[in-house]
Structure 1
Amino acid sequence: MSFVLQTTDMDLGDTPIENIFINDYMPMANGTYVKVYLLGYKYAHDRDINIEVNNTTISKHLDIPLEDVLRSWDFWEEKGIIEKIRPENTRNVNYEVKFLNLKQLYIKNNINLWLEDDSLAKTYVYNTRDLVDANKVPEINNMFNNIDHILRKQTVPGEKKKILDWIHDYNMNPDVIEKAVYYSVERRGVKNLPYIEAIVRNWYNDGLTNMEALMNHFKESDEKYYRYQRVMKALGLDKRPMRDEERKLIDIWFEKWKFTLELALHGCEQDKNPTPSVSYVNGILRSWNEKGIKTIEDIEVLDKRKENPKTSGAKKQVKKAQASVTRFHNFEQRTDKYSSAQLEDIARKKRDAYSQRAKGDA
C-alpha cells in the first residue's frame, strides 16, 4: 500500500511575502519594480529544478523590456534586500538573485543599534546633518517651506527625510514633489504622506518627472485643475491652497460665461493691485461678459470705441464754434449793394422824412 498526492495541472500554490516588504519597501517602489521582485521571489520560493528561470524569463512573463528588469534589481539591491551574484568580469544579464530574509535584516539592524550606542548616535547625527545640508539648497528649502504652507503644519524631520527619499527614489524635481502635495490637498483633500507618495509614484510610472510634462498631463486629463493652476500662477497665488469661493468663480468664467483660457489670463494681467485676487479679476471678467466680449480682439475693438467718442466730441465742438463765426461774418447785409454816395442820399432822405413827421405831429 502507498500514499500518493494528486498534482494539479495549474499553479495553485502560495508564495508567502513578508509584511516588512509590504509595509516598508513596497510603498517606495514603482509598480514595475514590485512586480519584478514578487515574480522573482515566487520563482525562488518554488525551487522547481525542472524550470529554468532568469531575467529574460521575467521580462517575457511580465511583458516588459529586459532593461526594466535589470533596473528593478539595481533598485532593490540599493535598498539592501537582495544580492546579485554572478561570476567576476562578466556582464551576463541573467545573473543569480539572492533574496535576503527581511526579518533577519530587521532584527540585526535593531540589535546593532541598541548594542552600539555610538552607532545609534552617529545614525541620528547623520540624519540631522543630511537635512541641514538639504536645506542649504535653495530649491529644497523652498520646497519644504511651500509644503509646510500647503499642509498648514510644520513637517517634522522624519517627514522631511521621507520627502527627500522621494526625490532620490523617483528621480523627481523638488517642484514636482511640491505639486504632488498641492494636488493631493487641493484635488483629493488628503494630507497624509503615504497617499502623497502614491501620487508621486504614479507620476513617476507615467514619466511625469518635470513640471512641463506634468502640466501637459493635466491639460489632457484634468482640464479643470489645469485651468485652476494657470489662473493661480498668473496671479502669483499658486503657492497656497485654493479657496472654495475661488474655484466657484473660476468655474463661472469657463462654464457659464464660456471664456477661453487666453481671455481669462488676459483678465488676470489687468489686476495691478499689490495683492492680486480672483475676486478682483472676476469683476473685470463680469464686465467683459456683460459687454459681450469673448475674445481679446473684442477688447481691442471696445478700446477703440472708447477713444473715438472723445475725438468726435472735440471735433463737434470745433465745428460748432466755426459755424457760429461763419454765420456771423458771412451774413450778407442789405447795405453791401449800395455805394457810399447812395447810402448818404438814402440817409438824408430818411432824416428829412423823419423831420416832416415830427412837424406834423407837433
Structure 2
Amino acid sequence: MFFKEVNEADLGETAIANIFIDIFMPMADGLYVKVYLLGYKNACDPSCSPKFNNNSIAKNLNIPLSDVISAWKFWENKNIIKIHKNDGSDDFDYSVEFLDLKKLYMENIIVNTKSIKSNTSSIVSVAENPSIRKMFNSINQIVGRHLDPGEKISILDIMNKYNMNPDMILCAYEHVRDKTGSSKPVKYIEGIIRNWYDANLYTPQDVEESFAVRSERYMLYKTIFNELGFSRQPSRSEKQLIDEWFDKFDMDIELILKACSKSKNISNPSVSYINGIIKSWNNKNIKNLEDLKKDEETQKNKVNINNKVSTNAANNNDTYKRTKFHNFNETFTQYTPEELDEIIEKSQREKFK
C-alpha cells in the first residue's frame, strides 16, 4: 500500500505523465531519467533562468557533460523530445522540446485500432503456428488475462522488427513479472526487447548470462568505489573505463584495488586518475599483484646496480687522487726531525761547494 502525506506548504510541484513512468522510465538508464526530469522541471517552471542549459544540468547532477548529451540523444531516439540547435558554433548549445506524451499515446491508440481491423485475419493465420500459439497462451497466464487483438499484433510486430523468436518475447514478459510483480503494456515489453537487441542478446540463455555478468560487474563497481571513498553510483563514462580494465586489459580486481589505494593521498581522487595508473601497468604487461611485485623488484635491482656503479666510480676516482701524493707523504714521514735537519744541511752545503 502506498499513500501520500498531506501538507499545506507549497514548495512547487512538477507533474510527470504516468506514461513516462510506466513505459519510458523502465527502459532507460537511471542517469538518463535524472537528466530528463531535471530538464522537464525547468521547462515547466516559468521562473527558471533562461541561462539554465546542459552545462547547468551536468554541474547540478555532478556528471560529465557528455553524459547529459548522451541522455538527450537517447530520449530523442525514443521520440519523446526534439532537439533544436541554437545559433552559434557550440555543438552542445541547443534547446530541448518536451513532446506531449498524452498526445503521442492517443495517436498510437488510433494507429493500433486501424491495424486491428486490417490485420485480424493475419492474427488468426499466424496463431496457427504452434510456437506462436503457445507463446500467446503463456503470456495470458503471466498477465492474468487474455491478450486483445491489438496487443497480439504489436507483439508480432516486435518479433518481426527485432527478429526475435517466441522464447525471447516470453522471456521478456517473465522478466517483467519477476522484476515488478505486475503486468506492463506491450510498449514496455518492446523497450526491453530493444535493449536486448542493442546488447546482442538473442536467446534466453544470452539474457541469463548477461544478468549474471551485470550482477557481478555491479558488485565490482561498488567495491572499487568503496575503495575510492565514493558513496555515489558510477556514471556511464566511469563504467566504460572500469569495464575496459576488466574486459580490455584483463586486470585482476586485487590489482585494481591496489591502484585505487594510491589515490588516498590525493585531494581529489577520480576514476580518470586511476585509469592513468592502470594504463601504465598495462603497458608493462602487469595484470595481477604478482606481476606488479616482480616489476617493483626489477626496478629496485636496477636502482641498486646504478648506485653500486656510482659508488665504485667515486672510489676509483678517490684512489687516483690519493695515489698522486701518497708516496711523497709516506717517504717524508719515515725520518725523525733531527734526521730531516741533517739532510737539509747536507743539501745546502753541496749547493755552495
- State the TM-score, normalizing by the size of structure 1: 0.37
- State the TM-score, normalizing by the size of structure 2: 0.38
